Amino acid sequence: MISVMKRVVLFLMILSLAGTTFAQKRTSKTKKRSAISKNTKPKSNTTIAVTQTPLADTSKKAPVFASPIDGYYKKTNMLSSKPSPYTTLREADVVFSKRIWREIDLREKMNQYMSAPQARLIDILVDAIKDGELTAYDPTPTKNDPNGDKFLTALSSEKAMGKLADSSLVDRFDKKTGDKIGSEMKAGEFNPDSVVRFRIKEDWIFDKQNSVFQPRIIGIAPLIKLRAGGTYLDFQPAFWIYFPDARQILASKQVVRQNNDATGLSYDQVFLKRIFSSYIVKQSNEKDERIKDYAQGIDRLYESERIKKTMMDWELNLWQY
């Protein structure tokens, strides 16, 4: 009985060892087949030619050079500056008003900065007219505008530049009889140095609400000389510019002064603070006369100073001490 049991146990052990060996051989065969399938490529009878376009090399870019600064710092304050607003003025607060026309001569020492080549006043106005930022108005007198300074007729930039050009008055003659039949303006080239005077129209107003007596510039005009028959006529406005519209442009343009390059003064501040020399050529009157209509020579300058003193005395007489 014991021998039979030993035989059964021995038989079972042989069967278990045989099963383990068979499983190991099967696993090794499976691994070999998978390795062969990975390394073997399918053969094909068709050959396809593939052309590859080389990619652009984006690693190399064109060098970017920053423009050098003309100095050691960027001057940006003046470019972004805005004109100082006027105080609000009501008609009921105006107890005195006087219209004054005065002229600025750029040949005077105090006014020479307005003709500096780096920042000419006439160049600033002309560039703004060409760019459409300012409107030039015709100074020709009409029935509704005897003085030609009421900003009624707008001019195109081409016509405004034509009036600034070195124009001359040329006589016209009849081809058959040779008699003079009229005259016409012949335009030449514009020379900025030829503009040596500006005319200003302003109102001197006493505001009782704020108790101030101050001027408000209304218009500015470059003056030119016309030629007739080879002789120059008196200075005449080329066109008028409405000054409140020009303040925004003048506020961003720095003036060039002799003593200091970093003045920080704009053209708007120059006119607002009255940093210029001028003389009066006309005041509002019942006859609409200019000073040169009733005074000649040195008397014109005396009359200009008399009008200026009269206005100063009017303001001083308001106060009691």
CA 160 to chain centre: 19
pLDDT band at residue 250, thresholds of 50, 70 and 90? very high
CA 29 to chain centre: 87
Judged by DSSP in three states, 102 sits in: strand
**What residues pair up with 169 in beta bridges, in sequence order?**
185, 228
The rounded distance, in Å, linking the Cα atoms of 130 and 157 is: 6
Q: What is the pLDDT of residues 167-226, one digit of tens each?
A: 656 677 777 787 777 776 666 678 888 899 999 999 999 999 999 999 999 999 999 987
Q: Would you state the pLDDT for residue 9?
A: 63
Determine what percent of the chain is predicted with pLDDT higher than 70: 73
Q: Would you state the pLDDT for residue 36?
A: 47
Q: What is the pLDDT of residues 21-57, one digit of tens each?
A: 555 555 555 555 554 454 544 444 545 454 555 555 5
Does residue 45 or residue 268 have the better pLDDT? 268
Tokens 């007739």 locate to 228
Per-residue 3-state assignment (H helix, E strand, C coil) for 205-274 = EEECCCCEEEEEEEEEEEEEEEEECCEEEEEEECCEEEHHHHHHHHCCCECCCCCCCCCCCEHHHHHHCC
Instruction: Look up residue 54 and give its amino acid.
Output: P
Q: Would you state the pLDDT for residue 44?
A: 47
Q: Would you state the pLDDT for residue 298?
A: 94
Instruction: Look up residue 209 and give its amino acid.
Output: Q
Q: What is the pLDDT of residues 99-136, one digit of tens each?
A: 999 999 999 999 999 999 989 999 999 999 999 999 99
Find which of 50-59, 158-167, 274-283 is predicted with most confidence, using mean pLDDT.
274-283
